[in-house]
Every structure is written in C-alpha cells, then in structure tokens.
Structure 1
Amino acid sequence: MEDIKELIKENQLTLSTLVVFTRAEHAIHKKELETVKESGLTPAQFGVLEALYNKGDLRICELIEKILTTSGNITVVIKNLEKEGLIKKNPDPEDKRSCIISLTEKGKDIIESILPNHINNIKSIFEVLTDEEKITLKNILKKFKNKEK
C-alpha cells in the first residue's frame, strides 16, 4: 500500500496533467458536437459527409481512417446516409469487392449548410488560445502520435 502511495506522489504532475487534459478534451468535444447535434446528424454521419466534402470520393477503409468519430458501425452509417440520398455507393473499378463513396448534391448542400456554424463554433472554442499557443499545443499533441510509431 505504501508503495502505491509513493508511486502516486512521485507521479503527481503526470497524473494531474492527464486529468486536466481529459477534462479539456471532454469540454472541447461536448462544445464541438453542439452544432453537429443541431444539424440532426449523428457525429459519425457528420464525419462521413465532412470527409467526403473535404477529401472527395473515398473507399470505406479510407473513410474510417479520415473520420474523427469511432468507426464501429460505419456500414450502418453509410447505409442510412445512402437511404437519405446524401451519399451514393459506386463499385470500385480497381477492386470489385470495394465501393467508392461519393456525396450527392443533396449531401453537398447539407454539409455546406452546416460547416459555417460548425467552423465558427470551433473558432469560438479555441479563442482562449493565441495563434502561437495553438501552434505550441499542436506540436505538443503531435508528440503522442509520433510515440505510437
């Protein structure tokens, strides 16, 4: 028991950094999702439409890689977006087992109606930081991604 208390004491800064980071991430995510919820889309649906809008046509595996939400049920998300006429699936000419996902005009109109509010919302979230602080934060956070490799 004493060893655990000593370990906690020795790592107090690291542990409190995790707590502050996690609380900030939750607060940012909650605020960011407000505009997505107002649109009537789920975070996954928004992620798919936003990725297709910004990256163009994508295979399902590429979509999973690009979207910032969890990809657990991507096939259902795609099926529902297709049913609503927001995306279309076309056979991949290079791989018959795969499909290419594209935005329809309706899907493009929907995402273009959401993005201005969404971008302004994100802007307001990060207004607490100067541009220099945003760059510093990005560089610090990239260290975690680089550690994975």
Structure 2
Amino acid sequence: MTDIRAAYRLHKLFEQKITSEYYASFKGKYGRVQVEALNYLYANHEVRVCDLSEILDISKQHASKMIQKFEDDGLVLKKADPADGRSVVCLLSDKGRAYIEEYLANSDKRFLAKLESLSENDRMSLLESMGTISELLEKL
C-alpha cells in the first residue's frame, strides 16, 4: 500500500469509527462546517471571521452568515479586533462553550462504548497509537 493510500485509509477509518458519531449528534441543528467552526472556536478561543473562512475553506460571506446564525442562537459573541479596528473577532459565549462541552461529553461516552468491544490490551494499544500519530502529525 502506498503512503498516500495508507494515509487516506487511516483518515476514512478515523472518520467512520471515531468522529462520525460526534458530527451526527449535531444533525438537524448544524452541519459539518458549522460544527467545525464551533470546535475551532472552542479550541482556539477567538478568531477573526476572515481567518475562519480561510481555515474552513469557505467564502467570507458564508463565514459571516454562519457566525451571525451562531450569534442569533446565543452561542457566539463578537467584539472589535484590538489589532485591527476594522475587523471583528468571534468567541464562544458561555452558552456556546457549554453547548460544545455537552456534545464532547456525549461523544466521549459513545467512544468509550465503542472501545468496550476491544480487549484491554487493544484499547491501550489504540489509545497509545493515536497519541503517537497525533504527535508525529503535529511535527509535519
């Protein structure tokens, strides 16, 4: 198997076995790109709308509309960018942070339930391997 095929296979398996249930838990309320935006805000605390559009590979208009929807839903706050008065930075509100934390907790429960099908040795091996892969990918 070529390196790129192995990487693609790993990506698809991770998506199917690990992240799919997390994203599915948002179904009906928010789509995948919206969930990615909320996750980014959760992990990075604040971001300019123009930067979010680049990170998510969407148009600035789409990013602006999405942030406006989150603001209308009470999940996101906007404030002036201290570095550039013409720009706005977005951050999760307390409600938005609690919203994501609830989904993360539920996702953890589902992930742990999936791990139950593995032996203790396989569980430890998987978790250690995921840590190793993460560390190596961060070096790229």
Smaller-chain TM-score bracket: 0.5 to 0.7
TM-score normalized by the length of structure 1: 0.64
Say whether residues 1:34 and 2:21 are aligned partners. yes
* CA distance, structure 1, for counterparts of residue 85 and residue 136 of structure 2: 42
1:129 to 111, 121, 126: 126
Identity %: 27
* CA distance, structure 1, for counterparts of residue 93 and residue 138 of structure 2: 34
Say whether residues 1:77 and 2:66 are aligned partners. yes
Superposition RMSD in Å: 3.0
If you compute each CA radius of gyration, which structure gives the higher value, 1 or 2?
Answer: 1
- Which residues in structure 2 correspond to 1:1-149 (within 5 Å)? 13-14=1-2, 17-31=3-17, 32-40=19-27, 41-63=30-52, 70-72=56-58, 73-121=62-110, 124=114, 127=123, 129=126, 131=128, 133-138=129-134, 140-142=136-138, 145=140
User: How has the CA–CA distance of structure 1 residues 64 and 117 changed in structure 2, closer, same or farther, with 3 Å as cutoff?
Assistant: farther
Contact 2:50 2:63 (C-alpha < 8 Å) held by counterparts: no
State the AA in 2 paired with 1:25.
H
* CA distance, structure 1, for counterparts of residue 93 and residue 134 of structure 2: 34
Q: Aligned pair count?
A: 126
Query: In the TM superposition, what whole-angstrom CA distance separates every residue of 1:35-65 from its partner, at most 9, and x where no partner exists?
Result: 2221233222222222322332332355457
| Residue segments in structure 1 that go unaligned for 5+ positions in a row | 1-12
TM-score normalized by the length of structure 2: 0.67
- Secondary structure class of the residue paired with 1:26: helix
- Secondary structure class of the residue paired with 2:13: helix
